[in-house]
Amino acid sequence: MADFDLLARLPGVQTVDLIATDAVLGSGFHQRIHEWLPGLDEIEWNASAVSPRPVLSVPAATPDRMCFSNRDREEELIGIARRLKADRREHTGAGLDPPPLDGVAVVYRHPLAYLYLARSVFGAAGIPFQTSDTLPLAAEPFAAALDLVFDFVAASFTRSALIALLRSPYFTFADRMPIDRWAISALDRALSEARYLGELEHLSQLSIAWQAGGEHRQVWPALHGAVSAAEELQRLAPVIAPLVGLGVPVSVDTMKSEVAKWAFDQGAAMINDVWGLQRDSAMAPIMSQNGLPVVIMHNRDAVDPALDIMADIEAFFARSLAIAAQAGIARDRMVLDPGIGFGKTPEQSIEAIGRLGRLRSFGLPLLVGASRKRFIDKLSPAPPDQRLGGSIAAHVLSVLNGAAIIRVHDVAETVQALKVAAAIRGHS
């Protein structure tokens, strides 16, 4: 739903038509859409009075209303690139200046696969572009790729999750050459034609059958890579249970309700929603049903140095808590995390720690994860594994400013520092 927020902030947008079911509106979207698009007119439509079955209606393309149908995402982006280049040629041929590209925006509800494809498609077409991605960990691309891995496993190796993983520029196979995008697109089409819905056994059977019959030769490299990845990643499915067996609480970071449900089934004790219940409308209801504690983390699509970061964090938490309340999540199950390093400049991350006490007004436990973050490098340049001193300083001050939970890499050293700080403070 957050892409509608992006639409509202795009210059030049005059009208936006939205269609939402009662279930979607009841998830907290109703309130948020009025916050994002004030003055929105509502029309209630009783679908059952018109037709007892869903109907897909595709309007005919006209000069003022273009509609396109594509086989896959890559073809869709290639079509956009061709239209942009054709438009520039038309203007140039008529002696006119081509329209500036900074006035063109391509907005997707699920942008993940498009983000990866845009680099190669628009790059090959020579079209300059910039992305405003909504990855849960956009500031940490490798961590974002890990989210794809969890999604792939949690979804039982479905086609869409598989293709998104293969297209990730951060996911490679150590024993083979990179898989080109044409093979991946061909694999996507072949799996669709084979009505592949998921499950590793079915994927392996298709691989064996196609190679034995000499079919779909162009997809063999991608298919072999996909099967290898699935077999390797299948080990992730039971990984949480052994950790739970150690007798320690296990927390899983995600913004996807499917991953949260999978983690809950595996025995996870807490879910950290890295988009604060605001990216997946099914997340809040799932967290209400399973009763697990949920960490509501602040995040932003893009960094804005001019932003009043504390005001933005407070407004974000207010929206998240309204969603949680509507879904029935108990307040004693919620923790707030200012999201150090996520959608923030180094200076804003420092400010969020320094003014952490301001967030105590929400009356909920505060969590801070500043370990090895980039703002430390900004103050005292050092690679991540050499930021222990800065990490300890940030966490000690976070606790002094009201943090009830901290997330660290170097546990023993941080515990020692906190014990010493607490003892000294007790005599102050």
Residue-level pLDDT at 247: 79
Stretch 48-74: mean pLDDT: 53
Higher pLDDT, 302 or 368: 368
Residue-level pLDDT at 85: 87
Nearest one of 265, 393, 323, 243 to 32, comparing CA atoms: 323
Q: Name, in order, each residue with C-beta under 8 angstroms of 329's C-beta and a sequence gap of 6 or more.
A: 284, 287, 288, 294
Candidate list 300, 407, 419, 425, residue with the active-site label:
407
| Active-site annotation holds for 373 | yes
Tens digit of pLDDT for each residue in 67-80?
555 666 777 888 88
Q: Residue 52: pLDDT above 50? A: no
Q: What is the CATH architecture assignment of 242-426?
A: Alpha-Beta Barrel (3.20)
| Active-site annotation holds for 65 | no
Tens digit of pLDDT for each residue in 286-323?
999 988 899 999 998 888 999 999 999 999 999 999 99
Stretch 170-179: mean pLDDT: 55
Label residue 138 by pLDDT band (50, 70, 90). very low
Label residue 179 by pLDDT band (50, 70, 90). low
Q: What pTM, to 2 d.p., does this model score?
A: 0.54
**CATH 3.20.20.20 residue ranges in the chain?**
242-426
Residue-level pLDDT at 355: 96
Label residue 388 by pLDDT band (50, 70, 90). very high
Candidate list 344, 373, 378, 387, residue with the active-site label:
373
Higher pLDDT, 239 or 41: 41
Label residue 421 by pLDDT band (50, 70, 90). very high
